[in-house]
Amino acid sequence: MNVAIIGGGAAGFFSAIHAKMNYPEAQVVLYEKTKKLLSKVKISGGGRCNVTNGCTSIRELSKAYPRGEKELKKAFRIFNTKHTMEWFESRKVPLMVQEDNCVFPVSQDSQSIIDCFYNEAKKLGVQIEMSKGIKSIQKKGKQLKLEFIKEEHYSRTFDKVIVATGGSPKRTGLEWLEKLGHQIKDPVPSLFTFNMPQEKITSLMGIVVENAAASIQGTKLKANGPLLITHWGMSGPAILKLSAFGARILSENNYTFKVQVNWLNIQNTELVLDELKNIVHVHGKKIVANYRPYLLPERLWFYLLEKCEIPKEKRWGDLGKKGLNKLINILTHDIYSVKGKTTFKEEFVTCGGVSLESIDCKTMQSKVCPNLYFTGEVMDIDGITGGYNFQAAWTTAFIAGKLG
């Protein structure tokens, strides 16, 4: 048997390694269209490689995927975060789980992961061909013929083919798979930060609120977690989650919408009122600038006071009902206009790709083209930030590599 893997990224390497482990006699060839292998692994997590997430509950884990939750829930029973950690550690790549549950190599260097893949592929005898882009796949009986972009008169036939080409920013990049009969979900960006060119809050760049809640007005979209103020707008896990779950809606709105921020992540405003009344009672003589509720960052507190027109030198005891209501409103229902987005670091992630309706997710085999398999982001599967996209790659690649 001979097997082709199309794509030299995370999912491509992992599926090639497992195909060869499952079928030692098979010839396994990995094709990469560029001159670089594992480029996304190299830059992930600021060059440290956020290899998976420490979440071990399959139910919780699958909730981190705006697209693919149901299918991955089943797939994670076969290969999940525990298996990923065991796999790398058994190959002399010790891992560490951070407080935020992100998992990195102890070396804090993505090269550890890359070297592990190179060594494993070499040991098993996986063939690697660089600068070999695939133009088309054609059915030839039970086999599949690959035609190459730069070599017009050269083609090669395989018994099994695994597509691991990653996300495509445009639908045209998926037409070669559409021609085989696969349904394609239009790709749109996921995991991006919000641009706020008209908002003064950008002057507070660098401030992090550890537990905020954010929602998109006019939708049911909401998320919580750390929120980072940047020189262009807002970022951080809360915003990135919103962008992932809202990828299609926000694209349809041309990235122009209003985001509502609850700086306290307390939904019950009565509780906030009680806390502020308590401050008035106990610290009524203190000026508002000098006593910050909920330990909010100082610059943010001053900014919010100015925004709701409460003088910094006013005393807590002189705020009155009107002043307290203004504060409650700004702390729990602060609104900002978003116009545009910025890709999150170099970690380009797409919502969309080959529709899961065209794939048997028990095997990752195409429903319309036997012996063709899919893995990773070329499918309409994507996760929030925190190692989840790599975990989806490892899981789907492990299953695809069974060639079942």
Of the candidates 228, 223, 232, 212, the residue with the CA atom closest to the CA atom of residue 340: 232
- pLDDT score recorded for residue 168: 94
| Together in a domain, 152 and 253 | no
- pLDDT score recorded for residue 260: 98
Residue 83 — pLDDT band, cuts 50, 70, 90? Answer: very high
The strand pairing partners of 30, in sequence order, are: 5, 128
12-50 pLDDT per residue, tens: 999 999 999 999 999 999 999 999 999 999 999 999 999
Residue 271 — pLDDT band, cuts 50, 70, 90? Answer: very high
| Together in a domain, 46 and 182 | yes
The answer to whether 341 and 251 are in contact (CB under 8 A) is: no
- pLDDT score recorded for residue 205: 98
Buried b (16+ CB within 10 A) or exposed e, 145-176: ebbbeeeeeeebebbbbbbbbbbbeeeebbeb
Residue 104 — pLDDT band, cuts 50, 70, 90? Answer: very high
Residue with tokens 């592990």: 116
| Dihedral of alpha carbons 364, 369, 371, 373, sign | negative
In this prediction, what percent of the chain has a pLDDT beyond 90?
Answer: 97
Residue 343 — pLDDT band, cuts 50, 70, 90? Answer: confident
Backbone angles phi, psi at 400, to 5 degrees: -60, -40
| Together in a domain, 110 and 250 | no
Region 86-108 average pLDDT: 98
- pLDDT score recorded for residue 297: 97
| Together in a domain, 201 and 159 | no
Residue 345 — pLDDT band, cuts 50, 70, 90? Answer: low
Q: Which residue has the higher pLDDT, 44 or 373?
A: 373
- pLDDT score recorded for residue 346: 60
pLDDT over 80 (residue 347):
no
pLDDT over 90 (residue 150):
no
| Together in a domain, 23 and 154 | yes
What is the tally of structural domains in the chain?
2
Residue 348 — pLDDT band, cuts 50, 70, 90? Answer: confident
Residue that terminates a domain, selected from 343, 368, 392: 343
| Together in a domain, 245 and 132 | no
| Together in a domain, 120 and 159 | yes
CATH number at residue 389: 3.50.50.60
Range of the domain at 279: 192-343
Region 64-72 average pLDDT: 98
| Together in a domain, 29 and 98 | yes
pTM of the model: 0.94
| Together in a domain, 257 and 311 | yes
Tokens describing residue 113: 């992961």
| Together in a domain, 164 and 202 | no
| Together in a domain, 242 and 157 | no
154-187 pLDDT per residue, tens: 899 999 999 999 999 999 999 999 999 999 999 9
Task: List Cβ<8 Å contacts ≥24 apart for 92-99.
Answer: 92/116, 95/51, 97/54, 98/54
Residue 153 — pLDDT band, cuts 50, 70, 90? Answer: confident
Rg (the chain; Cα; Å): 25
| Together in a domain, 156 and 47 | yes
Residue that terminates a domain, selected from 301, 325, 343: 343
CATH number at residue 303: 2.40.30.10
